[in-house]
């Protein structure tokens, strides 16, 4: 028996199940955060691009083109940042899945209940 299970009164599999469950929550949070970043980037980029309409209506094509390009650039850059953050969350999922599946301290039933949560 390891020192963590002796101190907490839980078995090693219970301690690992809780730990893996917590890490899965972190991974889900990272993926959710990436979705928020992508949506905000598209909204901000869209608002900047919409400002280009004012340039066209004021016969200022330079402003309109620059505003449109900046808006598209902000949206694309933010979306790419969101995708990279989502990839980090998915990588964390894969790492946790590997750790759970290769753990000799957890039974097959416990492994499936941890991964399904």
What integer pLDDT is reported at residue 60 of this predicted model?
Answer: 76
Q: Do the domain assignments include residue 37?
A: yes
Instruction: Confirm whether 73 is domain-assigned.
Output: yes
Q: How far apart are CA 31 and CA 33, in angstroms?
A: 5
pLDDT tens across 47-90, in order? 998 888 776 777 778 888 888 999 999 999 999 999 999 999 99
In a domain, 88, yes or no: yes
Residue 99 forms part of a structural domain: yes
pLDDT of residue 18: 86
Kindly indicate the confidence band of residue 7, based on its pLDDT and cuts at 50, 70 and 90. low
The pLDDT, as a whole number, for residue 117 is 65
In a domain, 16, yes or no: no
DSSP 1-51: --HHHHHHS--HHHHHHHHHHHHHHHHHHHHHHHHHHHHHHHHHHHHHHHH
DSSP 52-71: HHHHHHTT-HHHHHHHHHHH
76: domain range?
A: 25-108
- Is position 54 within any domain? yes
pTM of whole model > 0.85? no
As for how many domains the chain has, the answer is 1
In a domain, 7, yes or no: no
């Amino acid at each position: 028996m390891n020192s963590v299970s002796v101190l907490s009164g839980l078995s090693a599999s219970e301690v690992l199940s809780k730990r893996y469950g917590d890490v899965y929550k972190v991974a889900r949070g990272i993926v959710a955060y990436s979705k928020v970043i992508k949506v905000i980037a598209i909204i901000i980029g869209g608002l900047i691009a919409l400002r280009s309409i004012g340039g066209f209506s004021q016969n200022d094509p330079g402003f309109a083109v620059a505003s449109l390009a900046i808006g598209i650039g902000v949206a694309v850059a933010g979306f790419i940042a969101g995708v990279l953050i989502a990839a980090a969350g998915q990588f964390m999922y894969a790492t946790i899945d590997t750790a759970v599946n290769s753990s000799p301290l957890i039974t097959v039933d416990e492994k499936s209940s941890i991964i399904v949560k």
